[in-house]
Chain A
Amino acid sequence: MSENGQEFRDFDAQLIQLFDAPPAFADADLFASSVMQRLDRGWQVRSLVIGGAGLIGGLIAVSQIMATNLIGKVQSLSFGTEQPLLRSLIAYGERHLVLPSLPFGGEGPWMSAGLAGLALVFALTRAIEEY
């Protein structure tokens, strides 16, 4: 092998070694904590989004139940039964869950609300990615 050929290999190996050695940054700890803060912030926002989506979904579900008068149907089915637990549940529902009747009975508005909720979640997710 020529002297120059050996020189290249030495230089090549030296170059790889130099690239492998990361530079030392005085603010390395600050950088690490910045990344962790962004990570934490992302988690908090996602938690809020998931919680908000769950809340919206829950509200929609309750509204649908109310709109279809499910509790009333269950109550009518339970007439004549002697099951105390079911009666207690129905009574509890009448006391705490029955909301004023809604002005519309169609499912369109609720589907719209659901889609709006999904759009909100989508928009927030995109905002998080951009953030």
Chain B
Amino acid sequence: MTIIGARSPHQILEGQHDTALAALAAAGGREAFGELIRRHGSAVRGLLRRMGAAPDLADDVAQDAFLLAFEQIADFRGEGAFAGWLKRIAIRLYIRRWKRDRRLDLMAQTPEPEVDDANPGDGAAAGRMDLDAALKHLSPAERACVTLCYGGGLSHVEAAEALHIPLGTLKSHIKRGLERLKDRMAPQGRSSISPVQAQSLGRQTHV
């Protein structure tokens, strides 16, 4: 007998919430974890590239992050978003790699992220390209600080601790980074953000 409308296991997993998939993965469900990789792989890779990692390094760290996440999946209680939990793991690994390679000085220049948008005419896709292009014009420190707070969801205090820099230094990097982003991303002819207002913005967000 053929059941009309029966869904394949893959389709069933696609319909599951992240928390349910994580619970399945914690019970040994490899396919469930595979679905989580498909859902969040690009976000993690993109975050690392936006932080300034070269594409190969970003992918390598992203893979390590997923493997570590699978090891620690039982620790994920579903209290926050799975994506946020995963991104924090990736950030931690990337900064550890930085330390290991003695590149925590944030001075290394990084190549432009290779972003492949299927529909460049789409407004959101164009905005993403603007963001990635604008991030390229930030210093490595500004780029890392802005991305950690806006893309990684870390508070200023958490980001400063993660990067092992004083809170004031982090805020300065964010302020200057926002100014540059604003300049790069604002439509032609519009005034740029003032330093005082950027500082205010930096205080208002993610603190």
B50 and chain A: residue at smallest CB distance: A19
CB of A77 within 8 A of chain B?
no
CB of B46 within 8 A of chain A?
yes
- Contact: A42 with B197, CB < 8 Å? no
> Provided the pairs A15-B181, A24-B116, A26-B116 are in contact, do residues A35 and B132 lie with their beta carbons within 8 angstroms?
no
CB 8 Å contact bits of A1-15 with B (1 = contact, 0 = none) = 000110110011011
CB of B205 within 8 A of chain A?
yes
- Contact: A16 with B150, CB < 8 Å? yes
> Provided the pairs A19-B150, A23-B117, A39-B67 are in contact, do residues A32 and B41 lie with their beta carbons within 8 angstroms?
yes
- Contact: A22 with B43, CB < 8 Å? yes
- Contact: A15 with B150, CB < 8 Å? yes
- Contact: B63 with A34, CB < 8 Å? yes
CB of B113 within 8 A of chain A?
yes
A100 to chain B, nearest CB (A): 44
Q: How far is the CA of A38 from the CA of B116 in the complex (A)?
A: 25
- Contact: A19 with B116, CB < 8 Å? no
- Contact: A12 with B37, CB < 8 Å? no
Interface residues of A in 25-39 (CB under 8 A from B): 25-26, 28-29, 31-32, 34-36, 38-39
Q: How far is the CA of A7 from the CA of B183 in the complex (A)?
A: 13
Q: Is the interface of A mostly helix, strand, loop or mixed?
A: helix
CB 8 Å contact bits of B48-74 with A (1 = contact, 0 = none) = 011000000001001100110010000
**What is the number of residues of chain B that contact chain A, defined by CB distance less than 8 Å?**
48
> Provided the pairs A5-B197, A21-B128 are in contact, do residues A36 and B181 lie with their beta carbons within 8 angstroms?
no
Residues in B whose Cβ lies below 8 Å from that of A102: none
CB of B6 within 8 A of chain A?
no
- Contact: A31 with B128, CB < 8 Å? no
CB 8 Å contact bits of B172-207 with A (1 = contact, 0 = none) = 000000100110011000010110011011001100
Q: How far is the CA of A38 from the CA of B34 in the complex (A)?
A: 12
- Contact: A12 with B197, CB < 8 Å? no
- Contact: A8 with B193, CB < 8 Å? yes
Residues in A whose Cβ lies below 8 Å from that of B201: 8, 11-12
CB of A85 within 8 A of chain B?
no
Residues in A whose Cβ lies below 8 Å from that of B116: 23-26
Residues in A whose Cβ lies below 8 Å from that of B186: 11
Q: How far is the CA of A40 from the CA of B67 in the complex (A)?
A: 10
- Contact: B59 with A38, CB < 8 Å? no
- Contact: A28 with B46, CB < 8 Å? no
CB of A18 within 8 A of chain B?
yes
CB of B115 within 8 A of chain A?
yes
- Contact: A25 with B151, CB < 8 Å? no
- Interchain residue pairs A-B with the least CB separation, the first 5: A22-B43, A19-B151, A23-B46, A22-B42, A26-B116
Chain B positions within 8 Å of A, measured between CB atoms, are: 30, 33-34, 37-38, 40-43, 45-46, 49-50, 59, 62-63, 66-67, 70, 113, 115-118, 124-125, 127-128, 130-132, 147, 150-151, 178, 181-182, 185-186, 191, 193-194, 197-198, 200-201, 204-205
